[in-house]
Structure formats: C-alpha cells, structure tokens
C-alpha cells in the first residue's frame, strides 16, 4: 500500500512496499512521483521517495544545499526508525547519495549512482551557471520544460515527452538554488573511500552528463560495478524502464543484500 506523508522537517515523501529500505532520490527539477515506474520494486523493497527542498510539494526554500538535502533524508530515516538503507539517486539525486555516504556511511547498505557526476570544475561553474540561470528565470515554464525534454530525452516520441512533462515541474527559485548547489560539488577524494557495494549507471546518449563521467566515477570507486544503458538519454528510468529496473534488481540480488522475491 502506497502512503503519502510529510516528515517533521516538512519533507513530503511516498512510502510503499516491504523488505529492506530503498531510498529513491529525484533529479533537478523533478518531483518524487517521477519514480513511479520503479514502484514495481516494492515487491522486494520498502521504497522511500522524498521531495527535496524546493521541489514538488516541499515548501522549504531556505538552506538549499547538497549537505542539507542529505541531512533531510537522514533525518527522515531517523524519524522512520530506519537504521540503514540502499540509497539510489539520479543526476542531482546521485550527488545527494554521495553526500549521504559522506555524512553517514554506516547507514548505507549500498549506493546506486545514476547519470550523475562527482566534481564541477570552477571553469564549468563560471561558464555554465550564468547561462542556465538566465534560461531558468527568463523562459516561460512551457519553454523551459520543452527545452529540458529535448535535452534530456534520446527519443522525442510523444509518449516520452508526455511522461517527462508529468514529473518535470521545476520551481524557478528552487531550481536555481539547487543548480548552484550542484555546481559546488567536489567528491574527488570521497569516491576512493567508498567501501559499500556501488552501482554506477550511465546512459549511451546522455547529453546532460556524458557517459565518460560515469566511467571515471566507476574507476575511482573501489570494486564498483558499471552499467551503460543503450538507447537512452539522461532519463533511463523513463526511456528504458524495464532494463533500468532489471539492472537495479540484479545489482542488489547479486550482492546478496536482499532475498529474491518468491
């Protein structure tokens, strides 16, 4: 049974399923419901799916940082009396996953890093942020969503576009603050210290975060596993759902972290 609730820190979240806890963390401009195609994993896992500050139904616009995103999720786990969980995040969510490990590695059963990155050079921040900020503030919501869809998706067929629009709902203020927070990340020294099972997922046609970045992450994280999903842009969980979900299940089962269903 799926339930919707709000934490003591005003974080809305969905919870469904049984088994070991699996936290699913959305990307920049997304909402928690963007993981609905992964709710089939509830047959094996206790899924916990939050809206980060400045996203979805989360009203908090203060303190938008990667550090606070991670703290909010750890506080939610405290509130739910969950000692440890598998932590999965896509894009910005993957950066939050890394920060959760930094803050509380003992609470991470495994990490799943999807279409994400680990370091934003100063030059990138200088060139990239002003352009993206101006675009976010000056374009209409419809224009921004169309541009995001055509950048994020490999296939522009109407079905994919419609699905993307359902779950990509950026709040301008929250979006800009979160994007700036992402561009401050530097986890070059953290990745070699990761000691839990880690899956890095990249996408063949990702134009937001090119797949070579995931390859570098895989090389930096000891004993990590790398999977490159074909025929997908930045949003594999939407474009190649069956392969994406199978990849998550296989990784967790292969490492003996949960009993196979049935």
Specify whether the CB–CB gap between 114 and 38 falls below 8 A. Answer: no
d(CA 92, CA 132): 15
Average pLDDT on 170-188 reads 92
> d(Cα 75, Cα 53) in Å, to the nearest integer?
13
User: Percentage of residues in the chain with pLDDT exceeding 90?
Assistant: 79
Does 22 score more than 80 pLDDT? yes
* Structure tokens given for 73: 């999720």
Q: What are phi and psi of 184, to 5 degrees?
A: -100, 0
pLDDT tens readout for residues 32-80 = 999 999 999 999 999 999 999 999 999 999 999 999 999 999 999 999 9
Model pTM above 0.75: yes
Please, how many CA atoms are within 13 Å of residue 22, restricted to the half-sphere of its CB?
27
Q: What are phi and psi of 229, to 5 degrees?
A: -90, 125
Tell me the pLDDT of the chain averaged across its residues. 91
């Amino acid at each position: 049974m799926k339930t919707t609730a709000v934490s003591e820190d005003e974080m809305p979240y969905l919870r469904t399923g049984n088994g070991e806890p699996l936290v699913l963390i959305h990307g920049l401009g997304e909402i928690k419901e963007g993981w609905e195609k992964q709710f089939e994993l509830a047959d094996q896992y206790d899924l916990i799916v939050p809206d980060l500050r400045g996203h979805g139904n989360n009203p908090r616009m203060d303190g938008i940082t990667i550090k606070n995103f991670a703290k909010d999720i750890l506080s939610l786990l405290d509130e739910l009396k969950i000692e440890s969980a598998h932590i999965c995040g896509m894009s910005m969510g993957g950066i939050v996953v890394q920060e959760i490990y930094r803050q509380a590695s003992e609470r991470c059963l495994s990490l799943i890093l999807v279409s994400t990155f680990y370091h934003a050079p100063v030059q990138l921040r200088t060139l990239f942020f002003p352009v993206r900020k101006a675009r976010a503030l000056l374009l209409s919501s419809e224009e921004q969503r169309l541009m995001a869809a055509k950048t994020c998706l490999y296939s522009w067929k109407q079905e994919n576009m419609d699905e993307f629009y359902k779950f990509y709902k950026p709040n301008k203020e929250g979006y800009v603050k979160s994007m700036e927070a992402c561009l401050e990340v530097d986890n070059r020294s953290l990745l070699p210290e990761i000691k839990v099972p880690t899956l890095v997922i990249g996408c063949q046609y990702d134009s937001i975060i090119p797949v070579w970045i995931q390859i570098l992450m895989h090389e930096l994280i000891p004993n990590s596993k790398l999977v490159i999903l074909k025929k997908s842009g930045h949003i594999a969980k939407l474009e190649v759902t069956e392969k994406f979900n199978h990849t998550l299940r296989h990784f967790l089962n292969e490492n003996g972290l949960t009993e196979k269903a049935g």
